[in-house]
């Protein structure tokens, strides 16, 4: 089945902004983007990335949807604490949490990114992380069209 991604992302943003009073800026390249995927899995993917962005940062969150070389690219950027380099390869593993996150009041099980990665892989895509300590983090999801 085809999923309309702009609407799906907007409604995920609405849930996060209402529940946590956070602003998410969304930039997209056309009004409607249809993509063959499992709708509830894509919802969950976007929700996990947005929920992490709001848990590990305090200010604005930026989300982009672009198209490049027959691929859809989704980025979620926050301007929060960042992820230490030595942890970046491990955050996609089950139950892995960076030390700072283990002790903070915002709880979590360390499963979110494991699920996110499984969803991306199930759609033959890739997920990457770019981060700078103390400056912020971008997760980039690349989905083949």
Residues that bind ligand ATP (CB under 6 A): 52-53, 56, 78, 80-81, 83, 91, 96-98, 101, 108-114, 137
**Least distance between ligand ATP and beta carbon 83 (Å):** 5
**Least distance between ligand ATP and beta carbon 1 (Å):** 27
**Least distance between ligand ATP and beta carbon 140 (Å):** 12
What's the CA gap between 130 and 111, in Å, rounded?
A: 19
Q: Report the residue number, 29 or 59, with the smaller CB distance to ligand ATP.
A: 59
Q: Report the residue number, 5 or 101, with the smaller CB distance to ligand ATP.
A: 101
Q: Report the residue number, 5 or 78, with the smaller CB distance to ligand ATP.
A: 78
**Least distance between ligand ATP and beta carbon 74 (Å):** 14
| H/E segment holding residue 3 | strand 2-4
**Least distance between ligand ATP and beta carbon 107 (Å):** 7
Q: Report the residue number, 112 or 125, with the smaller CB distance to ligand ATP.
A: 112
DSSP, collapsed to helix, strand or coil, labels residue 18 as helix
Q: Report the residue number, 6 or 111, with the smaller CB distance to ligand ATP.
A: 111
Q: Read off the DSSP letter of residue 59.
A: S
What's the CA gap between 87 and 44, in Å, rounded?
A: 23
DSSP 92-139: TSTT---HHHHTSSS---S-HHHHHHHHHHHTT-EEEEEEETTTEEEE
| H/E segment holding residue 54 | helix 39-55
């Amino acid at each position: 089945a085809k999923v309309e991604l702009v609407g799906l992302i907007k409604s995920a943003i609405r849930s996060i902004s209402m529940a946590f009073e956070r602003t998410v800026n969304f930039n997209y390249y056309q009004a409607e983007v249809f993509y063959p995927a499992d709708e509830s899995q894509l919802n969950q993917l976007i929700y996990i990335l947005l929920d992490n962005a709001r848990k590990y940062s305090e200010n604005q969150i930026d989300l982009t949807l672009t198209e490049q070389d027959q691929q859809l690219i989704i980025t979620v950027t926050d301007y929060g604490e960042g992820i230490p380099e030595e942890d970046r390869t491990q955050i996609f593993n089950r139950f892995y949490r960076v030390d700072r996150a283990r002790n903070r009041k915002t709880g979590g099980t360390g499963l979110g990114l494991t699920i996110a990665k499984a969803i991306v892989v199930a759609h033959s895509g890739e997920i990457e992380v770019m981060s700078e300590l103390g400056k912020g983090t971008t997760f980039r999801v690349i989905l083949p069209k």
